[in-house]
Structures are given as structure tokens and as C-alpha cells.
Amino acid sequence: MTTTKIKKSLHTELGHSTPDRITVRGRDLPSEILGHLNLGDMAFLELTGRIPTPQESVTFNAIVVTLVEHGITPSALAARLTYAGAPEALQAAVAAGLCGLGTVFVGSTEGAARMLYEAIPFGEKPARPLADMAKDIVADHRARKQIVPGLGHPLHKPIDPRTPRLFQIAEENGLSGHYVALMQAVQQEAERVSGKSLPINATGAIGAIAAEFGFPWKIIRGLGVMARAIGLAGHLLEEIDDPMAIEIWQRVEKEAGGPRQDWTR
Amino acid sequence: MTTTKIKKSLHTELGHSTPDRITVRGRDLPSEILGHLNLGDMAFLELTGRIPTPQESVTFNAIVVTLVEHGITPSALAARLTYAGAPEALQAAVAAGLCGLGTVFVGSTEGAARMLYEAIPFGEKPARPLADMAKDIVADHRARKQIVPGLGHPLHKPIDPRTPRLFQIAEENGLSGHYVALMQAVQQEAERVSGKSLPINATGAIGAIAAEFGFPWKIIRGLGVMARAIGLAGHLLEEIDDPMAIEIWQRVEKEAGGPRQDWTR
Amino acid sequence: MTTTKIKKSLHTELGHSTPDRITVRGRDLPSEILGHLNLGDMAFLELTGRIPTPQESVTFNAIVVTLVEHGITPSALAARLTYAGAPEALQAAVAAGLCGLGTVFVGSTEGAARMLYEAIPFGEKPARPLADMAKDIVADHRARKQIVPGLGHPLHKPIDPRTPRLFQIAEENGLSGHYVALMQAVQQEAERVSGKSLPINATGAIGAIAAEFGFPWKIIRGLGVMARAIGLAGHLLEEIDDPMAIEIWQRVEKEAGGPRQDWTR
Amino acid sequence: MTTTKIKKSLHTELGHSTPDRITVRGRDLPSEILGHLNLGDMAFLELTGRIPTPQESVTFNAIVVTLVEHGITPSALAARLTYAGAPEALQAAVAAGLCGLGTVFVGSTEGAARMLYEAIPFGEKPARPLADMAKDIVADHRARKQIVPGLGHPLHKPIDPRTPRLFQIAEENGLSGHYVALMQAVQQEAERVSGKSLPINATGAIGAIAAEFGFPWKIIRGLGVMARAIGLAGHLLEEIDDPMAIEIWQRVEKEAGGPRQDWTR
């Protein structure tokens, strides 16, 4: 008998199995979930404990679908290079790709949502006009010399084409409220103050819509992580059929291993 | 100008962006995908390059949904323990959890599909009666002292409740063919020879249905990996709200760090 | 011929190979390194580009050796649980264990070094008495309600037994200067203000000594990561011979999957 | 009180702590290890439970030092690309790099050792002349159309310059026995049969010397993993100072995202 002092019981609400039943979030997996829920709805159930309404389903699926695939990214390259060395462990190649979804890429959804929640705690009404809040948010970031999360894109100018579509879907499905409006007010203020075009990028739109759902900011990066796991599987399947990892490695090794050159002259 | 000898051009069919367009698998992401495809359909598009038929959509979503959540698993524990040490990097906690989806868990979908494809190459008709193939498959595994992939479950006896439901969905949607039939023939033969109850488990059912779709066996493990990334996000959200990692660590450390004990007496 | 605009040449100083030579950091690997450098010296060469003096060798080896093994940790458990699911990929099990070496564990070496460098930039002399700096550092952390990195330990009280030994080794080898002294001043001030025992823990001592070497704070977490990779290999070898992962999983699943219990009553 | 049925006690021999003592492998860390053991010796202690003799220390350090750095590799690129996206989590970038140390790279040490142990179980004397064993090993690999692990190198021809040096160190330190001799016999036979130059590469030499130590083949891949964790920290430090990841990504994205081209014409 263990004598370990137990300080806390261990508990999960997520899933439970007996010999003849498998329950997920309180629902019988075979009869209530399989054949009834699509993968996005299942993710919603997993995260919230309830099945989305049709409006929530369309909107939630749209934000995660947005994050699945974005062409050749550092994350996709890391996964492909890993697979080239360890084809016995496809799971580790996906894992390697996910490790780079941090503060620079994808993780910025988290920053946008956190910024919005700090201005308007979830469940509360805005205490002041949104334009005033936006002024303070932008001024605060400028004072700290930080970029405002969710704004600007190196390629997609003057607008990120995903953003108006995501906001349209949210609007049509009753999921465009204070957070989307505040994100838009922040954008206008940031453009006014900087004099530059600063579109709301996809991570800003997703952060705002995720806040409308009330997802805690700490898990919002997870939406991108789960979506990109799908995209990375796609990249690995392509890598199996038409590899690029070894060619990239050999080109880089050849160039980088030699004497330093200045290509920029 | 680089002098590197280029042996192979680099190319991807998955995604491409210009300033005002984002294309995934040849489709305009904002107008043709967002709001139209659910996350499972998007995964299907990503892997195959085409949008699933309604029947394929229901069946494919069902097999990936099956793999999302299975309660406390070694993978979920690894993710939670990782998060406890590095809450700044939720993506790395998901990655840590995925690293364990190998040959023992989840990866067995791959083994089942591979076994079926070796018997009946994709696109071909069975060359012999399925029962004869099943005899050879079972005899061959017994001769090599290997378990037949996709059969048996430590908990779910005499049947794995996911399997009949998945086969029903595949049947109703026209996706139950030679591979499902051969998997069932293999099970019957394995039970006959061993005298034991050997249900087709969920990974066996998924491997067989994935073979009906024609997914290459090398990527089939990826179906579980993408699905479990969703489940791991769910576990991490629960870990944030109601943690268990530190408690588990402390209990284990206390017990394991002391003099060896024999609890089994 | 590629038309890609090349903005920057790619270059590495770390290693280079020709058919008959392998060079690491400008030294011939077979004749100048193998048989001459131990693994800690090699790590020093890899990070700094030069071979350590005998005094640096003893001290640097001591700080990395300290971080190799610390019994059952969340990181060791994550590695073991991963191996249980994917024994085909030992590298992924080590990787999973490393993913948790973040801000909570091991990574705190980084915080201590960063704090010290902010007070005294590397290569400069202290601008004010160390006691004054320590006062400001402690007051600043209290104002921001943050713990001072490198102080306090849940188990090792009133002293962490590694700290005096590490400081002794640094002292004997001429590597105890302003940073070690400032760390000690910070500790005294923190104890004075809080009225609590706050020993300099191993990560605080290592952060301070790493600062004496001048390692950039961004890489200091890497010292723990490289050391713990060794420790995780040790845990996996033990897990192969005398496994605990499956047992832990089954205990946790049994307890956590049932109705919620309150063990703390 | 937990009612979980405990089937197995949990135990570790690796490390243990009390408030005033930290023990690793039965030795007091501060007084018996710190300042006395270098990092390679610590790794040896961690894996074997004993301190190496001076001869073992030189040889073991040499084999792990060999694996630390090999210039730009797919693994180093994966780590650098990961860091570019998630600089908040250096540990995850190292982890991503390690995930690719599988059957294709580094992991081949494991294959060589396993092949040697299958011919001569550890602790036994060779049952037949080594040349006969070598004949069978080569014939068996040819029959299965598999390459012989540890032989051949795409760049280092006609010899891998690490191999004679490693064998020299092993010889001088009394660690060159049946396994090194069998590896050499296998090489001669493989060259005789194939008519090609097939040098013993570094992983073949390391696999053979690791077998002389008696390390179980399942952990031998871990020697490369621990060594490369050091090398990856070096690459990340260089990436911080002189980055290449973003440039590589942008070049590849530009080339791969456009219409397919055939550079090889």
C-alpha cells in the first residue's frame, strides 16, 4: 500500500471507457458522436464540453480551417527535414513542425485575444467607448515599443484576404460582437497614429473571433496547433511523393559550409 | 549568384499566396473554402487535393473523430507534464504528446492498412478468395510470432464498440469494400486459430476504412496524429483549469525515489 | 537558374567537411579534437569557438554536470511515457522530455543570468555598490509581484547543497566575480526583506557562473537542455530494463477516469 | 486512500534527493561528482552506474564527441527553423532538431551495434571465425536487399577520417576487441563482394566501439541524441547571432510556391 501523501485527486472530464462503452465529454462516442459530428465540431466539444450550434459550427470550423495550410512555412520545412532523417516516426516529424508555432507565427492569435480580454473581461460589457480603449491600447504598445498583435502582414497588403471573409462569417452567424469591433477600432487607431497601412491579419481576426466564443487566451494558440497538425500531415504526404528536404539541405550545406560570401552586393 | 548545383526543383501543390490571394490545393481559401468546408473536409482536401463527396465526408470525419480523445493516455500525460514545466510554449506540450503516437498506440492503424494493401494492392481486385488470404496472413504472423495488427483490445471485450459503428458508417456510405471484408476475414481466422476472442479494434477498423479511401499506408499514422493534436489541446485546457501533472510527478517521485518496494506481494 | 532574390548569404562557422577532412570550429576533428577533448570541453568549443583553459574546463563541466540528472522529474516522466508508445523512435522520447525544460524548470538559469546582465552588462564594471543594485532588483521584483529567479527551493532548505560547491569550484578556478557576488547580494537582500530563508538554488548558481563566462542569456537555457538530454537517455535505458510508464498511466487512468473524489479530506 | 490496484512498484536507481543531499547513481552529487567528473564521464555514470576507468573515459568521450557537430544537417536546419518561429522556447527548438535523428542519420549506430550483437552476444566468445561470420552477414543483407549498417559514406571516400582515429583510440585504451574486428571483417567482405569502396563510416565505428562497452543496442541511438543536443545548442546560438532560417524559408517559398520548374534540364 503506498504511503505517498496524496494532496489532490486526479480527475478528467474528457473521456472515460468501460469494456462496452467509450464516453467523450459525457456523450457515447459510437452512437452520439461518430457519424454526427465533423472534426471541427468534435474539437469544439472537446474544448467546451458542448456541441456547437449550427452558427457556432460554421464559424468555429472557419477559424480552424483558416490555419491548416499556408504553403511552405518554417514549420512545414522543419517537419519535412525531420521526416527525411526519421521516416520511421511520422509523428515526430509532425511534432517537430509544431514546436515552431510560437510567438512569431500562429501564436500571435493568442496575443490578440489576450489584448482584447484585458480591455474587456469576458462576460462584461465595455466600460468605455471602444475608440477610447483603442487609443489607450495603441498608445500603450507604442510606449513599450511593441507591435500591436494581429495587425500588419508582410505580404498581404493593403488587406489580408482572410480577414473580411472571417468577419463576414462571424457576422452572419451572430458571433461578431465587442471583441471584433474593438479589434477593428484598434486597427483604425494604429493606422491613424502610424500613418501606415496595418490590416488586421488572419491571426488578429481569429484572436478576436475566438474571444467572442470566450476561449481562454491560454488555449487559443492551441487552435492553430491543432489545425497545423493537419497541414503538416499534408506536407509529409507530399514530401513522401515529391521530396524537397534533402535538396534544401544539400544546397544550404554547400553554400553555408564554404567561405563567407556576400550575396547582397 | 549562387553556384550551388541544383539537382531538383522545389515545388509544392499545397498552398500559394500572392498579396491579394491565398490558394490552398488550387482553391481560393476565403471564397471557396472558408464557410464551406468543415475541418475534416479540409483535412481530406489537404491530403487528397479534392473535396470529399458527402458520403466520403461523413466517413472520413468519423474515422478521424474516433481518434481525437481517449481519456488519460500516456500521450495525454506527456503533454500535461510538459506543460507544467513550459507553460510559455503550449505548442511544445502538444508536440511532446504527439511524439508517443508510435508503433504501440495509434500507429497500429498503419500496420493494419499496410497488411491489407500487401494482400490486395490498391486499385486491384483480390486475386484469391478473402478467406484464403486471411489464412495466409494469420499463419504468416504466427510463424513470425507477431501479433496481427488491428486485432484485440485489453479493455474492450468481446467487441470494441467503435468498430461496428465505423463499419456501419462506411457501409451506409459506400466505403466498405474488399479491405473491410478482408479485415473481417482475418479476424475470424485469427479467432479460429487462437481460440481467443480477438475483436477488430478501432485502429483495425480505421486502417481498413482508410485503405478503402486509398490513403498510402505511410500517411495513415498521420490521421491519428492530426486527430490527437485536437485531443491534446483539450487535455491542456483541462490541465490549465484543474491540473494533475505536478501531483502525479510528486507521487511518483516519492515512491520511486525511495528504497525498492514490492507492491505486488 | 533560380531567380529567387537572395537577400543574405548563408554561413556557418561550426563545421565543415571535405572528402578527407572534417573540421569543427576550425579544428581538425580526428587529430585535434578526438582523444583530446572531453564532452564538456567539446560543448564549450561548440558554443564559444575556443578550447577552454583547464580552469574553465573544470568549472564549465561542473555546471553542466549538475544539470544532467535530478531523479524523477516531469521531464523524465514525459520521456518515459513517450517511449512506451513509440519505442521505434528513442530520439523522439528524448525530444518530448526536453520540451518541458521551460520557464518553470531548468529555464530559470536563463532568468538569473538575464537579471544579472541587466544590472551589469557583460564586460563592464559595476556602476554602483552591489548591495545597492541588489536592493533595486529585489524591490523591483516585489513591485511586479514576481519571484526573484534563482532563489528558493521547495525541498533543499536552508541551503541547496549544489550551490556552495559550485561557487567553491568557480572561486578556485578564478571564475567567481561580480555576477556571483551580485547573486549573493540579491539573496541576502531578498532574505532580509522577506524574512524567509531563500537559498540560492542550483539554477541561480549556474546562471551566475554562466554569466561569469559571458554566455549570452538567450543560450543559457541550452546548457540545461544539453545536460538533460544525457539524463533522459539514462532514464530511457532504465525504462527499457525496469519500466514504470505503463504502470503510472494505468494508475492515473483508473483514478482520473472515475467519478471525482476528494482525497484531501 | 486510493483503491487503484497497484501491479508494480515504481523505482529509479538514477537519482534521489533529501533536503540536504542530492544523490546520483548512489554518489553524492556535490562532493563526489561536481569538480571530479567531466560531462562525458557523467554520461557514462548515468548510463552504467559506475565511473569509467581512465581508458574508458578517453574512449567514451571520443565517441560521443564525434557526434556533436557535423555542420549544417537536416537536424540543425529543423532546429533553426523552429527557433525562428518560437524563440521563447529554445528547448523546443533543440527537441525539434533531435526528432530527426532516426534510422537515416545518427540512428545507424544502433543498426551496426545490433548486427554485431546478433553475431556475437555480449559476454560470449565468437563461435566461429570472424571471416565466416562476415560472409554470412554480408550475404544475408544482400539477400534481403538491405545495406550493411555502418558502411559507406556519400562524401568521405575512400575512408571516413573519423574511423581510423576512433579505432586507434579504442585500441590504445584496450577497447578494441571482437566487435571492432568483426566490423572490419564485414567491411572487407562487403568490399570484396560488391567491388566498391565501402569505408566503415563514423556510425559504424561508434556502433562497434559501443558494443565493446556492452551498451544495449536499444540505447546506442541515445549516444548520438545526447551529443547532438550539444551541437544543436551551438547552432541555435549561431542562429541568434547570424540567422539563416528566415532566408532559407523565403528562398524555398519563392521557388516552391510558383509553377513547377525543371532545374535539372
Per-residue pLDDT at C175 exceeds 50: yes
Helices (H), chain D: 39-48, 54-66, 74-85, 90-98, 108-119, 130-143, 162-172, 178-194, 202-213, 217-241, 245-256
Nearest CA in chain D to A6: D1
Same domain, D41 and D55: yes
**Nearest CB partner across the interface for B100, out of C2, C85, C248:** C85
Question: How far is residue C148's CA from residue C112's CA, in Å, rounded to a whole number?
Answer: 8
Q: Contact, C34 vs D206, CB < 8 A? A: no
Using a CB–CB cutoff of 8 Å, tell me whether A46 touches chain B.
yes
Distances (CA, A) of A36 to A32, B57, B59, C250, D93: 7, 11, 10, 31, 39
**Nearest CB partner across the interface for A91, out of B12, B92, B225:** B225
Let me know if residue B164 belongs to a domain.
yes
Grid cell listed for A224: 492553430
Lowest mean pLDDT among A176-180, B5-9, B48-52: B5-9
Dihedrals φ, ψ of C102, to 5°? -110, -145
Type of residue at C103: T
Type of residue at B227: A
| DSSP state at residue A31 | I
Let me know if residue A143 belongs to a domain.
yes
Rg of chain D over CA atoms, in angstroms?
22
Q: In this complex, do D71 and A253 lie within 8 Å of one another by their Cβ atoms?
A: yes
Q: What is the pLDDT of residue A263?
A: 42
For chain D, the maximum distance between any two Cα atoms, rounded to a whole number of angstroms, is: 73
Where does residue D207 rank: exposed (0-12), middle (13-18), buried (19+ CB within 10 A)? buried
- List the 167-226 stretch of C: residues with Cβ below 8 A of A: none
Q: In this complex, do D252 and B16 lie within 8 Å of one another by their Cβ atoms?
A: no
Question: How far is residue C258's CA from residue A9's CA, in Å, rounded to a whole number?
Answer: 11
Let me know if residue A137 belongs to a domain.
yes
For range D229-233, the mean pLDDT: 98
Q: What is the pLDDT of residue A260?
A: 61
Chain A hits for B19, Cβ within 8 Å: 155-157
- Closest C-alpha to C213, from C58, C8, C36, C67: C58
Peptide bond before B158: cis, by omega within 30 degrees of 0? yes
pLDDT digits over B210-244, tens only? 999 999 999 999 999 999 999 999 999 999 999 99
For range A147-161, the mean pLDDT: 91
Let me know if residue A185 belongs to a domain.
yes
Nearest CA in chain B to C92: B99
Per-residue pLDDT at D154 exceeds 70: yes
| DSSP state at residue D66 | H
Q: Is the dihedral of CA B199, B200, B203, B204 positive or negative?
A: positive
Nearest CA in chain D to B99: D99
Let me know if residue A87 belongs to a domain.
no
Distances (CA, A) of B201 to B153, C55, C213: 6, 61, 57
Q: In this complex, do A264 and C8 lie within 8 Å of one another by their Cβ atoms?
A: yes
Same domain, D38 and D115: no
pLDDT digits over B62-113, tens only? 999 999 999 999 999 999 999 999 999 999 999 999 999 999 988 889 999 9
Q: What is the pLDDT of residue C154?
A: 84
Distances (CA, A) of B193 to B118, B149, B153, B187: 21, 16, 17, 10
Using a CB–CB cutoff of 8 Å, tell me whether A260 touches chain C.
yes
Q: What is the pLDDT of residue C107?
A: 80
Grid cell listed for B127: 486475386
Q: In this complex, do C92 and A88 lie within 8 Å of one another by their Cβ atoms?
A: no
Per-residue pLDDT at A258 exceeds 80: no
**Nearest CB partner across the interface for A256, out of C6, C7, C12:** C12
Per-residue pLDDT at C253 exceeds 70: yes
Residue B97: CB partners within 8 Å, gap ≥ 6?
Answer: B75, B76, B78, B79, B82, B228, B232, B235, C96
**Phi-psi region for residue A152, left (φ > 0), alpha (ψ -120 to 50) or beta?**
left
pLDDT digits over D73-103, tens only? 999 999 999 999 999 999 999 999 999 999 9
- CA neighbours closer than 13 Å in the CB half-sphere of residue A178: 19
pLDDT, chain A, mean: 93
Per-residue pLDDT at D158 exceeds 60: yes
Q: What is the pLDDT of residue D155?
A: 87
Question: How far is residue C146's CA from residue C101's CA, in Å, rounded to a whole number?
Answer: 20
Beta carbons within 10 angstroms of residue D218's beta carbon: 17
Please report which confidence band the pLDDT of residue A265 belongs to, taking 50, 70 and 90 as the band edges. Answer: very low
Q: Contact, D67 vs D40, CB < 8 A? A: no
Same domain, B124 and B24: no
Per-residue pLDDT at A2 exceeds 50: no
Vertex D106 angle, CA D102 and D110, to 5°: 80
Count contacts between B and C (CB, < 8 Å). 146
Which value, to the nearest 10 degrees, does the dihedral of the CA atoms of residues D126, D132, D135, D140 take? -60
Structural domain count of chain B = 2
Chain D hits for A245, Cβ within 8 Å: 74
Let me know if residue A72 belongs to a domain.
no
- Closest C-alpha to B16, from C81, C67, D254: D254
Query: A5, A34, A52 — which closes off a domain?
Result: A52
Q: What is the pLDDT of residue A3?
A: 45
Q: In this complex, do B82 and C73 lie within 8 Å of one another by their Cβ atoms?
A: no
Residue D40: CB partners within 8 Å, gap ≥ 6?
Answer: C38, C39, C40, D57, D60, D61, D64, D65
Question: How far is residue B18's CA from residue D259's CA, in Å, rounded to a whole number?
Answer: 13
Grid cell listed for A149: 498583435
Using a CB–CB cutoff of 8 Å, tell me whether C61 touches chain D.
yes
> Can you name the residues that pair with A200 across neighbouring β-strands?
A151
Please report which confidence band the pLDDT of residue D265 belongs to, taking 50, 70 and 90 as the band edges. Answer: very low
Chain D hits for A100, Cβ within 8 Å: 81-86, 92-93, 96
For range D121-128, the mean pLDDT: 95
Same domain, A146 and A47: no
CA distance C254 to chain D (A): 7
Using a CB–CB cutoff of 8 Å, tell me whether A108 touches chain D.
no
| DSSP state at residue D27 | E
Question: How far is residue D32's CA from residue D72's CA, in Å, rounded to a whole number?
Answer: 38
Question: How far is residue D97's CA from residue A78's CA, in Å, rounded to a whole number?
Answer: 8
Please report which confidence band the pLDDT of residue A5 belongs to, taking 50, 70 and 90 as the band edges. Answer: low
Question: How far is residue B157's CA from residue B26's CA, in Å, rounded to a whole number?
Answer: 46
Q: What is the pLDDT of residue D261?
A: 55
Q: In this complex, do D263 and B11 lie within 8 Å of one another by their Cβ atoms?
A: no
Residue D159: CB partners within 8 Å, gap ≥ 6?
Answer: C20, D199
Cell 469576458, residue located: A122
- CA D165 and chain centroid, separation: 17
Same domain, D207 and D180: yes
Chain D hits for C51, Cβ within 8 Å: none
Q: What is the pLDDT of residue C63?
A: 98
Let me know if residue B261 belongs to a domain.
no
> What stretch of H or E contains B97?
helix B90-98
Highest-confidence segment of B87-91, C1-5, D253-257? B87-91
**Nearest CB partner across the interface for B95, out of A69, A98, A244:** A98
CA distance C140 to chain A (A): 18
Using a CB–CB cutoff of 8 Å, tell me whether B101 touches chain C.
yes
Q: What is the pLDDT of residue C1?
A: 33
Cell 501479433, residue located: B147
Q: In this complex, do C99 and B107 lie within 8 Å of one another by their Cβ atoms?
A: no
Type of residue at A169: I
Per-residue pLDDT at B1 exceeds 60: no
Lowest mean pLDDT among A173-187, C98-112, C212-226, D214-228: C98-112
Q: Is the dihedral of CA C140, C146, C149, C150 positive or negative?
A: positive
Grid cell listed for D180: 571492432
Same domain, D50 and D153: no
Using a CB–CB cutoff of 8 Å, tell me whether B264 touches chain A.
no
Same domain, D192 and D230: no
Per-residue pLDDT at A26 exceeds 50: yes
Q: In this complex, do D255 and B8 lie within 8 Å of one another by their Cβ atoms?
A: no
Let me know if residue C233 belongs to a domain.
no
CA distance C94 to chain A (A): 11
pLDDT digits over C147-163, tens only? 999 999 888 888 999 99
Q: In this complex, do A221 and B65 lie within 8 Å of one another by their Cβ atoms?
A: no
Q: Contact, D185 vs D131, CB < 8 A? A: yes
> Can you name the residues that pair with A154 across neighbouring β-strands?
none
- ipTM tops 0.85: yes
Q: Contact, A60 vs A37, CB < 8 A? A: no
Lowest mean pLDDT among A213-217, B42-46, C104-108, C132-136: C104-108
Q: Contact, A191 vs A197, CB < 8 A? A: yes
**Nearest CB partner across the interface for D86, out of A77, A103, A257:** A103
Using a CB–CB cutoff of 8 Å, tell me whether D92 touches chain B.
yes
Please report which confidence band the pLDDT of residue A168 belongs to, taking 50, 70 and 90 as the band edges. Answer: very high
For range C37-53, the mean pLDDT: 98
Per-residue pLDDT at D208 exceeds 80: yes
Q: Is the dihedral of CA D175, D178, D182, D185 positive or negative?
A: positive
Which residues constitute the domain of residue A145? Answer: 108-217
> Can you name the residues that pair with C186 across neighbouring β-strands?
none
Q: Is D9 helix (H, G, I), strand (E, B) or coil?
A: coil
Q: In this complex, do B256 and D92 lie within 8 Å of one another by their Cβ atoms?
A: no
pLDDT digits over A42-70, tens only? 999 999 999 999 999 999 999 999 999 99
Grid cell listed for D145: 536487399
Using a CB–CB cutoff of 8 Å, tell me whether A1 touches chain C.
no
What is the CATH classification number for the domain harbouring B159? 1.10.230.10
Nearest CA in chain A to C262: A9
Same domain, D226 and D215: no
CB crowding B100-136: b at 16 or more within 10 Å, else e: bbbbbbbbbbbbbbbbbbebbebeeeeeeebeebbbe
Q: What is the pLDDT of residue A248?
A: 97
CA distance B86 to chain D (A): 8
Q: Contact, A65 vs B38, CB < 8 A? A: yes
Using a CB–CB cutoff of 8 Å, tell me whether A240 touches chain D.
no
Distances (CA, A) of B135 to B76, B128, B145, B164, D178: 37, 11, 15, 23, 44
pLDDT digits over A237-249, tens only? 999 999 999 999 9
**Nearest CB partner across the interface for B46, out of A31, A68, A157:** A68
Beta carbons within 10 angstroms of residue A178's beta carbon: 19
Residue B188: CB partners within 8 Å, gap ≥ 6?
Answer: B134
Q: In this complex, do B261 and D11 lie within 8 Å of one another by their Cβ atoms?
A: yes
CA distance A244 to chain B (A): 6
- CA B94 and chain centroid, separation: 16
Chain B hits for C108, Cβ within 8 Å: none
Please report which confidence band the pLDDT of residue A257 belongs to, taking 50, 70 and 90 as the band edges. Answer: confident
Q: In this complex, do B68 and A24 lie within 8 Å of one another by their Cβ atoms?
A: yes
Grid cell listed for C170: 568557480
Q: Contact, C35 vs D62, CB < 8 A? A: yes
